[in-house]
Amino acid sequence: MTRYLTFDVFTDAPFGGNQLAVIPDATALPEDALQRIAAEFNYSETTFVYPPTDPAHTARVRIFTPTMEVPFAGHPTIGTAVALAVMGHGPEMVLELGVGPITAHATPTQACFTTRRPLETLAHPTVEEIAAALSLDPNQIETARHGPVMASLGLPFTISELASREALAACQSDIAAFRAGNAKYPGALDFAQFVYWRGADAIHARMFAPLDNIPEDPATGSAAATLGALLAQIDGADQELTIWQGEDMGRPSQIGIRTEKQAVTVSGAACPVMEGQLLV
């Protein structure tokens, strides 16, 4: 039997934030079981922890959504770092991910990590395509600062600013439009959409990836990091952002983002919720 833990990430209280399953020692699991285990949990991500390739590092971490393995994601990195801290590692860590080593600092309640991967701009979907995918009117998408942009720090998202908090609340996925976008922009993580509205003192955001069995994600650290890098590039200045996500689905999440030149640091809390044994 193999132990598992679950955490709620980007929250300091259970039943908020984004759920994560962590397998703290996956060495006994067969390769063909990993995706099936992730699908069984059906969280937006499950992580499998292995001994590091480089003995100077803390751990090697593989990340699976319900349908695929991904090289990088934010809330799994935060939650796994906290899980490792609970197990006695840290506080300074180096985690080996699919995008390469990531430096992290973690306690049993909070973590941060820094990525120095350069921002990639992959495509510029049209306002009409984004409006169709999210069941919005095109005039609800704000383009004064930037139009919709498909960008990546290791995981691609289409990022769009909305004109109001009401527009953000009104978003609903249109599966046919998501499929059309995915066909037009192959390799774009199933046309995942990260949309935000900028308030006076915080950013409010939502993320939809229904083609990856994630109708809506309560907290998406990798997309938040990409937004921070994008705004730093557009503004020509470093950013310090608080991003609220999950409010419209009853799982409020708080993500901290800080940019310094090319480096982007993601921070947040995580709390344990369950633990048990896999009987496979």
> How many angstroms separate the CA atoms of 228 and 239, rounded?
6
DSSP 76-116: HHHHHHHHHHHTT--SEEEEEETTEEEEEEE-SSEEEEEE-
SS3 194: strand
Task: Count how many Cα atoms sit within 13 Å of the Cα of residue 99 in the half-sphere of its side chain.
Answer: 21
CB 52 within 8 A of CB 58: yes
Active site residues: 45
Beta bridge partners of residue 141, listed in sequence order: 162
Do 197 and 53 form a contact (C-beta atoms < 8 A)? Answer: no
